[in-house]
């Protein structure tokens, strides 16, 4: 250092002094900032990160876990309010599980287990700077999914939807449904009774039923044919109503039919009577009712539970009809029919007369005063 000129010696001293000062500054920086402490291999090492948010979820406090991909990677060390109205969360994060996490991460609040314990959920995002000890972040939560918030929202929905009108409707529907309980209980009792006494195999019962039902198609066809022919009166050669018989009743006025022709069963041809009428009666008598009679006669003991079950069902009917209201309802029904067919005073719509009015036992409940009733 003493060699050379005075200027050379000054330059050497300045260089050495600068190097010493740079080493001192580097040591101070490494001791204070600890930039390489983030990547230590110590599994128990933590970094402190401050998170400023507009709000926090219910139940987030000191000791609340910080979760990354469903695994706890730290905890909240302190919760405090800020002057701007937000919330400051002081957290400690483990170094190894959070390696590569940046300040571009997002957070939300949600339960971390099946018991609804709240936690701070961290979601990593691309970009940003790697977190370091003492980092200060300002993040807006993507949502509050805690159990307390869910219950709060459900309470708001219930308070808005469960109105007195809806509760009244539910109550009425429940009371109406209770009226079906006797019918359901009776049906269940009957089914159990039939199952308890049924000793014949099901295939035998179905075979007997098939034999009984075999006569139903021709019977139904005959009934439809007879009904169609009775409706179409012009199919049969009718007879004019006896004038003497017509003179004994009040003269019908228009629009009532006069000299109407009615079907005469005596005009059946002998061929039709032998080939269709008698055959139909024989099928009904021997095929249908004969098979039913054989089935019932062979299962007399099995019919008793069925009859008892039907009786239990039908016994619920009289309870629905209040005897004290029957007379009033019948009288009102009769008066409505009379007003319905009264016409305009000069011409009646339909000539109607209740013949039962002449019986005192019927006229009294109906509220009718006739010549036979004092």
Same domain, 328 and 355: yes
3-state helix, strand, coil in the chain (%, to 5): 50, 15, 35
Same domain, 285 and 352: no
Please check whether residue 291 is in contact with residue 208, taking contact to mean a CB–CB distance below 8 angstroms: yes
Same domain, 47 and 120: yes
Half-sphere exposure of 164 (CA within 13 A, CB side): 0
- Greatest CA separation found in the chain? 169
Whole-number Å distance between alpha carbons of 175 and 164 = 16
Same domain, 329 and 280: no
Burial category of 139 from C-beta neighbours within 10 Å (exposed 0-12, middle 13-18, buried 19 and up): middle
The number of helices, as runs of H, and strands, as runs of E, in the chain is 14, 7
Computed on alpha carbons and rounded to an integer, the radius of gyration of the chain in Å comes to 50
Secondary structure of 55-110 in HEC code, one letter for each residue: CCCCCCCCCCEEEECCEEEEEEEEEEECCCCCEEEEEEEECCCCCCCECCCEEEEE
pTM as predicted: 0.38
Q: Is residue 77 part of a domain?
A: yes
Digitized pLDDT (tens) for each residue of the chain, 374 residues in all: 455 577 777 777 778 878 888 888 877 776 655 555 544 555 568 889 999 999 998 889 999 999 999 899 999 999 999 988 899 999 999 988 888 889 899 999 999 888 889 999 999 998 888 888 888 999 999 999 998 888 888 888 888 888 888 888 888 898 888 888 888 899 899 888 888 887 778 788 788 888 888 888 888 888 887 777 676 654 443 434 444 444 444 554 544 455 555 545 666 677 877 888 788 888 888 888 888 888 777 877 777 777 887 887 777 666 656 666 666 777 777 777 777 666 666 665 555 455 555 555 555 555 555 454 44
Q: What are the backbone dihedrals phi and psi of residue 158, each rounded to the nearest 5 degrees, phi first?
A: -65, -40
The boundaries of the domain holding residue 138 are 39-150
Q: Is residue 173 part of a domain?
A: no
Same domain, 354 and 330: yes
**Residue that is last in its domain, among 126, 150, 174:** 150
Same domain, 45 and 123: yes
């Amino acid at each position: 250092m003493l060699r050379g000129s005075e200027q050379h010696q000054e330059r050497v001293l300045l260089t050495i002094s600068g190097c010493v000062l740079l080493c001192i500054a580097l040591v101070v920086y490494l001791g204070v900032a600890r930039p390489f402490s983030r990547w230590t291999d110590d599994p128990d090492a933590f970094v402190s990160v401050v998170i400023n948010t507009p709000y926090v979820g219910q139940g987030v406090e000191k000791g609340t876990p910080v979760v990354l991909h469903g695994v706890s990677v730290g905890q909240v060390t302190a919760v405090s309010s800020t002057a701007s109205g937000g919330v400051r969360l002081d957290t400690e994060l483990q170094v190894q599980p959070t390696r590569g996490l940046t300040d571009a991460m997002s957070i939300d609040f949600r339960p971390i287990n099946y018991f609804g314990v709240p936690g701070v959920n961290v979601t990593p995002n691309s970009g940003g700077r790697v977190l370091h000890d003492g980092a200060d972040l300002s993040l807006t939560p993507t949502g509050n999914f805690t159990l307390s918030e869910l219950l709060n929202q459900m309470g708001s929905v219930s308070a808005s939807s469960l109105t007195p009108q809806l509760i009244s409707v539910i109550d009425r529907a429940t009371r109406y449904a209770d009226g079906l309980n006797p019918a359901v209980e009776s049906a269940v009792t009957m089914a159990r009774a039939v199952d308890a006494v049924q000793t014949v195999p099901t295939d035998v019962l179905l075979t007997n039923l098939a034999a009984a039902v075999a006569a139903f198609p021709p019977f139904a066809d005959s009934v439809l044919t007879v009904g169609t022919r009775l409706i179409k009166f012009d199919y049969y050669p009718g007879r004019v109503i006896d004038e003497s018989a017509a003179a004994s009743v009040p003269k019908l006025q228009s629009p009532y039919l006069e000299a109407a022709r009615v079907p005469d069963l005596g005009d059946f041809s002998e061929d039709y009577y032998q080939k269709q009428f008698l055959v139909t009666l024989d099928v009904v008598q021997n095929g249908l009712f004969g098979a039913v009679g054989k089935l019932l006669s062979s299962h007399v003991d099995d019919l008793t539970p069925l009859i008892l079950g039907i009786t239990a069902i039908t016994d619920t009917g009289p309870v629905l009809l209040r005897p004290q209201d029957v007379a009033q309802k019948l009288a009102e029904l009769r008066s409505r029919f009379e007003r319905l067919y009264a016409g305009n005073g000069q011409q009646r719509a339909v000539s109607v007369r209740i013949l039962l009015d002449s019986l005192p036992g019927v006229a009294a409940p109906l509220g009718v005063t006739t010549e036979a009733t004092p």
